[in-house]
Amino acid sequence: MRDDHVKWFMLALAALTIMGSYYTYDSIAPVAGLLRDERGFTQSQIGLLNAVFNLPNIALALIGGILIDRIGAAKAILIASFICTIGATLTAVGEPYGLMLVGRLLFGLGNETLYIALLVGIAQWFHLGGGALAIALFFSMARVGSYSADKSTSWFAEVYAQGWQAPLWLAAGLTATGVLTAFIYYLIDRKLPQLRAVGQKSERFRLKDLTGFSRSFWYILWLNVLFASVFFPFRSTFSIQYFMDVKGMNLADAGTANSYVFAAAIFATPLFGLLADRIGRRASLLTFAAALMPLTFVLLVTTDYGLWVTTILMGLSFSVIPAVIWPSTAMLVEKHRVGTAFGLINMIQSLGLAAANYGAGHLNDLFDAGPDNPEGYDAMLLMFALLSFVAFISTVLLLMRERRQPGKGIEAREILQSDVSMQRH
């Protein structure tokens, strides 16, 4: 295999590894109605299944990022894929409820480390260029996992007909395939280390090192945290039940409607990644995408527009932000601190995801949201609208700062590593 083909093969392995993991994360929303009807779960209990996914990473995501910088991305990917499989298996066993929570917690612990390590690995293999396109293609395969989870309600209708447990066993099996792809990735990484970037040896971590990141990094961090705290709790936890209770859809149609966002992202995310690599203007792209999110929820609450309108808006936002935000982050920090930077983002993001998942479920219970009271969901939607508006403000501040340094920063077509030290002040 030619050297320039190796990095694309490694990208394919990374993408296949994350695909099963994303399917498993999004497997809760399709079975939410079954858990409510067959096991009597409240919406708070359903929300907690995804909230607890993020709880360990509030403390451990940063540690995971630091560990990745020390032991290497490939080894971290392999270890994390094993932990994900154990967690998905316990979730599928599922009884009692406490065991299901433990499974989701373990899956979350492994998944966040896996996610960070894969992003770091891609940044290393594509250090000479094409990083935005590579990460966008990586996320496209992740969206295939999410899209498949939503479509599974119709693709595997006979599995869902067996009750709440069978779909979760299917998810556990897909997660287990990631162990094989992670092992192949690890073997190639060990054999050909000269083909990827290797930063200078990471110094001993000190808490005060976290203050060394630029202001642009912190704006991107808050955009990432707030965007994730809106998008994933809605689309991966409550949207299918919302479509059924408010829009009168059956389970298969609601799953299909929810899948449109992920389907659009599969194809659109690489296009925006390629665009960012070609023209730069990354802060401008992020600002545009962030502006669409509050508009989406305002339309859901205040209008009777068809779901396709909000699907297009949310799909565009979801296609742009992941394609641009992670390579932009890697551009703004030193190579040997990328794992730490990604870990810090995911640590705070995990707190936001846990709070938003549980908060949304609590609001739905508080206002008695359900098929007999569809207006009860309005409080949840307004909460998401407010969070996404704050995310938009963060991108405006980012854009204003980046435009004060023409020809440099993430608005430029390329950013030199020497610019990173200049942006720290």
Domains of the chain: 1-202 (1.20.1250.20), 207-412 (1.20.1250.20)
345, containing H or E segment: helix 338-366
DSSP string computed for 70-106: HH-HHHHHHHHHHHHHHHHHHHHH--SHHHHHHHHHH
Residues 283-320 have pLDDT tens digits of 899 999 999 999 988 888 777 766 778 878 888 888 88
The residue among 168 and 418 whose pLDDT is bigger is 168
Q: Which amino acid is at 350?
A: S
Q: Would you say residue 375 has pLDDT above 70?
A: yes
Cα gap 37→387, rounded to integer Å: 31
Instruction: State residue 202 phi and psi, 5-degree precision.
Output: -65, 130
Inter-helix orientation angle 73-93/3-25, to 10°: 20
Candidates 88, 77, 84; CA nearest to 110 is: 84
From residue 130, how far is each of 275, 292, 344, 417 by CA, in Å?
Answer: 11, 26, 24, 15
Residues present in the chain in total: 425
DSSP string computed for 391-421: HHHHHHHHHHHHTTSTTSGGGSS---HHHHH
Report, as an integer, the average pLDDT of 198-214.
56
CB 273 within 8 A of CB 323: yes
Q: How many helices (H) and strands (E) does the chain have?
A: 16, 0
Residues 111-132 have pLDDT tens digits of 878 888 888 888 777 766 666 6
Give the model's pLDDT for residue 358.
84
Question: Percent of the chain beyond pLDDT 90?
Answer: 18
